Amino acid sequence: MSFDAGDRAISVVRVDLYRARLELVHEFETSSHRKGHIEHILVRVADADGGTGWGEVACPSDPYYCEENVDTCWLMLKRYLVPALLDAAWTHPQQVGEHMSRVRGNRFAKAGLEMACWDLHARRAGISLAEALGGTASRVPAGVSLGIEPTVERLLETVERHARQGYRRVKLKIRPGWDVEPVRAVRSHFPQLALQVDANCAYRPGEESLSVLRRLDRLGLSMIEQPFAAGDLLAHRDLQRALDTPVCLDESIVDADSAALALALGACRVVNIKVSRLGGLGPARALHDLCRERGIPVWCGGMHEFGIGRAANVAIASLPGFTLPGDVSGSDKYYARDLVQPPVAAHGGEVPVPWDRPGLGHEIVSERLEEALMLTETMTARSAAPA
């Protein structure tokens, strides 16, 4: 996997942070909130030889999905994480996390910085990020995630549009009061469609929720994702025992240890792997390896990434254990004009892996970044050193 202890050490001497905003082509609603734009932080690292790498902090704008948001990530990067990395020597990006390990949690912020180091490493080696990670697939199956709509009729129109575009799987966001009726309508109109639902922790354990989830269980779903709170593995275990449909965990899985516990309890049969939620590509690969050893299917989840983060998702999804369609849909599904060239595009329900281009395989278009830019910060070893 391109890990050679004899590789020449790399030291990052400069980090540029870019806070950018893109408007969504279609507002997106989950069980907690509705959003019409996305703010993420882009990270560019540079070594002493002038080599560069890009990463994306695909953090939520507000603390509804997890504890982090774009403001906390900006602060943690500036005050702790970037200073910890500057001038620290490493021979492989798998070691980058060690330099940030004194900072607890803050996995979204760590993920963007670590991703940039993976891109730098792969570009220096002249290989694609997929190859650096140990990927094997030339194309990855693409699914699409659809938010809560004002009406069932609007939802059906949206599903039909994406089904015509060839997406292999459709995921529907649900919440109490928006669950059985819209999902049954989609299943009725699209009986052959691979369909799953995602609650983002919206339900509470009890007979009322169990009744709803059992009704969903009869609709031929691929999985029911994260119905209960992230820390309530026992409730998920009891639910999985009561359902034929696989339970998938997302927010509950923050590292390989939490995944091992969930699997030991029987709390799920499927795992959603998100690079940002896990703290980077290295931890995501470790979780992939664990699940593959145990025969647990995984898929790549998304956080409405811009092109940089989306390209990283495509690379990680090329690993052999990713057997289910993930949230790696084309950029045009979310943004009228993404920040990278070439765009990340889906063709016939698949996204090609750019094996013939080094690193992420996509380049930032400086003019587009300038248009989207809200705030920028440059840090070097001198500026980051403590007083």
Catalytic residue positions? 173, 274
DSSP state of 78: I
Decide if 77 contacts 110 (C-beta within 8 A): no
DSSP letter string, 79-143: IIIHHHHTT-EESSGGGHHHHTTTS-S-HHHHHHHHHHHHHHHHHHHT-BHHHHHT---SEEEBE
Whole-angstrom CA distances from 289 to 96, 122, 312 are 19, 20, 17
Whose CA is closest to 28, among 171, 116, 145? 145
**Does the bond joining 320 to the residue before it have cis omega, within 30 degrees of 0?**
no
**3-class SS at 297?**
coil
CA distance 134 to 114: 17
**3-class SS at 209?**
helix
- What separation, in Å, do the N-terminal and C-terminal C-alpha atoms of the chain show? 40
Cβ neighbours of residue 202 under 8 Å, at least 6 residues apart?
31, 32, 174, 175, 176, 227
Residue 11 identity: S
Cβ atoms within 10 A of the Cβ of 260, count? 15
Separation of CA 151 from chain center: 28
150 — phi, psi (to 5°)? -65, -30
Decide if 286 contacts 280 (C-beta within 8 A): no
CA distance 255 to 277: 8
Decide if 225 contacts 189 (C-beta within 8 A): no
